[in-house]
Amino acid sequence: MSSLVDYRTCPTTGLRVDRSAEKLIKANAVAAVVFLAIGGLFGLLVALTRWPAVHFLPADMFYLALTAHGLDVLLVWIIFFEMAVLYFASAILLNSRLAAPKVAWTGFGLMLVGALITNVAVLQGQSSVMFTSYVPMMAEPPFYLGLILFAVGALLGCGVFFGTLVIAKRDKTYDGSIPLVTFGALTAAIIAVFTIASGAIILIPTLLWSLGLVSHIDPLIYKTVWWAMGHSSQQINVSAHVAVWYAIAAMVFGAKPLSEKVSRTAFLMYILFLQLASAHHMLVEPGFSSEWKIFNTSYAMYLAVLGSMIHGMTVPGSIEAAQRARGLTKGLFEWLRKAPWGNPAFAGMFMSLVFFGFIGGISGVVMGTEQINLIMHNTLYVPGHFHGTVVAGTTLAFMAITYILVPLIFRRELVMRKLATWQPYVFGIGVAGISVFMMGAGTLGVARRHWDMTFADALLPFDYPAAAYLMMGLNGIFAVMAALGGLMYVVIVVGSVFFGKKLAEDEKPSYPEVPPASAAVSHYGSSETLRIPGTAFLVGIFFTAFVLYYFVNWKYLSEIWPLS
Amino acid sequence: MAITPPSERIWWRQPIAKIELVWIIIAFTWGLIMFFMMIYWHGAGEQNLSNEAYQIKPQVFAQHAQDMIDEHQVRDESGFPVVHPPAGSDVYLIARLWQWWPILELEKDQSYRLHLSSMDWQHGFSLQPVNINVQVHPGYEMVVTIKPDRAGEYGVVCNEFCGIGHHMMVGKIYVVE
Amino acid sequence: MTENNKPDDAISSNPSDQEQIPLMQRVLDNPFLLLVLGIAVPAVFYLIWGIIEITQIPIAD
C-alpha cells in the first residue's frame, strides 16, 4: 500500500484526498485570488481612466496599469487557479496520490517568483509594453524573465498532472475511463503545454534581445508565435471553465452528462482545433494568405465552435434532465425557475454559461471572421469580446466553484452567506455590462489601449461620435459594479479561509448545499426518453441570436469603402 | 456524474439522444455556412484584403513617400504636407512615433493603391468614422486598394499601443468630389 | 498461466469484459496520444504554415 502518502477521506464525497495535493490546491488557489485582487484593482483604474468624465490616471500610469491588469488577471490569476483545477481533477477526482508533489511545489515557487518579478518590472515604469509586448518595443529584461519563470513553473504543474494520470491508472484508483471533468482538465492541460512551449520559443529570444545578445526579432514572426501563447492561454481557460460547468452541474444537481461520447468528442474538437484561433489576431497583418487565415481563424471549419455549441447544450441539458427526474416537470422552465438561484455556485455557473455563449462566444466568432475583422481589429470591440469570455465566462465559473471548494478543500464553513448569494449577480452583471458597452464603443470605432478618446493633445483633431462617450461612461459604471463584485468575492474567500468555522474531519459543510451522490438521476439508456424541451428552447434562442448578429455584421462590413 | 468515471465500461457505443443529434447537425451545418461565407465574400464581396505585402527597409519606404509628397503636395496643414496624388496611383502613408505622414487628399469613387508601413514600432491604421482597421508593421509594407465612396474628412487614429504619445497619433485623409 | 501475464491479458480472459473497447474510446482514453495531437495540429497548421508564409513575403525592389 502507499503507506507514505497521507490521505484523509472526504465526508461529503467519500473520495480519498491526498493531503499533499490538497495543500497544493490551497496554495495555488490563494495565490490566484491574491493576483485577482491586484489585477482587478488595476482593471478598475483602467476603466475609471477610460470613463471620459473621470479620466482618472495620467497617461504613463494608465499604460502601466493596463499592462499590469492584463498580466495579472489574464495570465497569473487564471493559470494559478488552473493549476488548482488540474490537481483537483487529477489527484482528488481520481482518488489517487499526486505525482511528485515536490516538483509541483517547485512549479508553484517558480510561478510565484516569476509573477512577482514581472509585476515589479512593470511597476518600475520602464516596461509599460502591454500584455502583448510587441517587438520592437522593448521592456526591461526582468519583464521577460519573470514571464519565462512563470511559464516554466506552469509547465511543471502540467507535468505533475500527466504524471498523476499515469499513477492513478497504474494503481487502478478508478475503473474504466477518467471522469468527464478530468477529461476537460486534460484538454486544458494539453492546450497549456502548447501554449507554454510557444511562449518559451518566443520569450527566450526576446529576453536575449532585451539583454543586447540578439540584434533583431522579426515583429511579424514574434506576433505569430506570441499569439500561439497569448490566444491559446485563453483556450486553456475555455476548456477549464467548461470542465468546471460540468463539475458544478454534477455537484449541485447530481447531473450526469447526457452522453459521455458527445461531450468527450466536443473536448476532442478543442484539443485539435481550438488553438488555431490564434489567427484571430493575424487577420489584418501583412503577408498571410487568405487560405491560411480562413483555415485557422475558423478553427478548421468551425469544428471547435461546434464543440462549444455542444457543451452549451449538454451542460444545461444535463441539469434539466436531472431536475425533471426530480419531479420539476411543469412547462418548459420549472426546472430552471426552481433551480437554486441562491446558491452562488449554481448562479455563477449558469451566468457564466449564458454570458460566455451569448456575449463572448458569438462576438468571438463574428470578430474572427476574416473580412469582418477589418471593422473590429484593435477597437474596443476586442476587449469587449474577451471580457465576455475570460471574465464573464472563466472568472465567473472559477468564482462559482470556489464556493464549493472552500468548504471541501480548506475545510472551513463559508462566511457572509448573504453576501455570497449576491456576489455572482453583482460581478456577472457588471462584467456583462463592461463587455457589451466596450463592444458598442468598438463598433463606433473607439481604439483599445488608448488613454484619451478626445485626442486633446493631437496636432490634428478628430472626434468620435457622442454615442461613444456614452458607451464609455456606461462601461465605467459597470466596471465599478464588477469591481465591487470582485471585492465581495475576495472578502468572502479570504474571510472564510481565515475565519470560517473549522470543519471536523468527518463533518459535512452546511453551505452551499451539495446533494449526496445518490441523487444522480439521469442515466444512460434514457436517451430514448430524454426530454429537455427547455434547453432546446434556450438553444434555439441562442442560435437565432447568433445567426442574426453574424449577418448584421456582414451588412455593416458591406457599407465601408470597397477594399481589395 | 461528470466527476466520476463513466458507469459503463464501453460508453462509446451508447446511443445519442435525438435532440442532441439534431443540435449537432445544426451546429455543424452552421459552421460550414460560416466557413464558406468567407470564401464567398472573396468573390462576391467588395471588402477584402489583397494580402499583397513586401519586406522593405524603413528608409526605402520613407523615400517612396517623400517622392510622392515632392511631386503632388498641394498645401500645408498644421505642419503636415497635404498631398493630392492622381487617381489610380500608388499612395504612401508613413506610420511613425507619433504621426501619420502625410495627409492624403483622394478623389471620391477613384481607386488608390495605399501602401502602409511603419518606421519604428507597430501601429494600427484605424480609419474613422468608416471604421477600417489594419495593422502596420516596421519592415513590412502592406498594399491595400481602397476606393473611397463618400466625400468628407476622415481621421486616421492609431489603435496599436505605441508608447507614451500613442493617444496623440492622429492623421487625416480628405476625400473630395 | 505464467507470472508474465500482462494485466491486459488478465482482463481479456474475463468473459464479462470480452467486448473490445472501440477505437475512438481508446483514443480518448489515451492522454499522451491526445497530447501529441493537440500540439501537432496547431504547430503544423498555425505556426509552421504561418511562419513559412512570413518568410516567403517578397522583398520590395
> In this predicted structure, what is the pLDDT of residue A10?
87
CB of C44 within 8 Å of a chain A CB? The answer is: no
Q: Give how far C54 is from chain A: nearest CA, Å.
A: 6
Quote the pLDDT of residue C48.
Answer: 97
Nearest to B10 among C22, C57, C58 (CB): C22
Measured between CB atoms, does A445 come within 8 Å of chain B? yes
A119-129 per-residue burial string, b: 16 or more CB within 10 A, e: under 16: bebbeeeebbb
pLDDT at C19: 77
Task: Collect all residues with Cβ–Cβ distance below 8 Å to A486 and sequence separation of at least 6.
Answer: A36, A37, A40, A427
CB distance B16–A261 less than 8 Å? yes
Question: What pLDDT, on a 0 to 100 scale, did the predictor assign at position A515?
Answer: 60
Q: What value does the mean pLDDT of chain B take?
A: 96
Domain ranges (residues) in chain C: 20-61
Which stretches in chain B have pLDDT values below 70? none
Is it true that the peptide bond before C22 is cis, omega within 30 degrees of 0? Answer: no
Residue A530: the pLDDT is 83
How many CB pairs (< 8 A) connect A and C?
A: 84
Domain span at B57: 52-176
Q: Calculate the alpha carbon distances from A430 to A146, A168, B175, C25 in Å.
A: 32, 41, 41, 42
Q: Is residue B9 part of a domain?
A: no
Interface residue C25 vs chain B (CB under 8 A): yes
The three grid cell numbers given for residue A125, joined into one nine-digit string: 515604469
In a domain, B3, yes or no: no
Q: How far is A179 from chain B (nearest CA, A)?
A: 4
Q: What CATH number is associated with residue B93?
A: 2.60.40.420
The structure's pTM equals 0.94
Assess contact for B30 and A540: CB atoms under 8 A: no
Q: Where are the domains of chain A?
A: 18-558
SS3 A213: coil
B54/C21 CB distance under 8 A:
no
Calculate the average pLDDT of chain C. 81
**Does residue B75 sit in helix, strand or coil?**
strand
Cell 493576483 belongs to residue: A35
Is B35–A561 a contact, with Cβ atoms under 8 angstroms apart? no
**Chain A closest CA to B67's CA: distance in Å?**
23
Count chain A–chain B contacts defined by CB atoms under 8 A: 310
Quick one: chain C helix, strand, coil %, rounded to 5? 65, 0, 35
CB interface of B with A, residues 28-87, below 8 Å: 28, 30-32, 34-35, 37-39, 41-42, 45-51, 53, 77-80
Q: What are chain A's partners, defined as 3 or more CB pairs within 8 angstroms?
A: B, C
Same domain, B44 and B60: no
How far does A69 lie from chain C, in Å, by closest CA? 28
B1 belongs to a structural domain: no
Q: Which residues of B touch C25 (CB under 8 A)?
A: 10-12
Burial class of residue A543 (count of CB atoms within 10 Å of its CB; 0-12, 13-18, 19+): middle
CATH number for the domain formed by residue range(s) A18-558? 1.20.210.10
Chain B positions in Cβ-Cβ contact with residue C58 (cut-off 8 Å): 54-55
Number of domains in chain B: 2
Task: Judge whether B172 is closer than 8 Å to chain A, CB to CB.
Answer: yes
C28/A273 CB distance under 8 A: no
- Closest approach of chain B CAs to the CA of C55, in angstroms? 9
Q: Which chains touch B (3 or more CB pairs under 8 A)?
A: A, C
The verdict on residue B7 lying in a domain is no
Q: Answer whether residue C4 shows pLDDT above 90.
A: no
For residues B41 and B69, state if they share a domain: no
pLDDT at A14: 82
Chain A residues lying within 8 Å of C51, measured CB to CB? 221, 224-225
State the pLDDT at residue C10: 42
Contacts 24+ apart (CB under 8 A), A524-530: A524/B7, A524/B8, A524/B11, A524/B14, A525/B14, A526/A321, A526/B17, A527/A258, A527/A259, A527/B14, A527/B15, A527/B16, A527/B17, A527/B18, A528/B15, A528/B17, A530/A258, A530/A321, A530/B17, A530/B18, A530/B19, A530/B20
Ranges under pLDDT 70 in chain A: 1-3, 514-529
ipTM of the complex: 0.96
Do B59 and B43 have their domain in common?
A: no
Q: Does A516 touch chain B (CB under 8 A)?
A: no
Is C34 within 8 Å of A177 when comparing Cβ atoms?
no
Q: Are residues A217 and A136 in contact, defined by beta-carbon separation less than 8 angstroms?
A: yes
Residues of chain A whose beta carbon is less than 8 angstroms from a beta carbon of chain C are 162, 165, 177-178, 183, 186-187, 190-191, 193-194, 197-198, 218, 220-221, 224-225, 228, 232, 264-265, 268, 271-273, 275-276, 278-279, 282, 286-289, 292, 295-296, 300
What is the predicted pLDDT for the residue at A517?
A: 47
Give the pLDDT score at C5.
Answer: 42
Residues of chain B contacting residue A409, judged by C-beta atoms under 8 Å apart: none
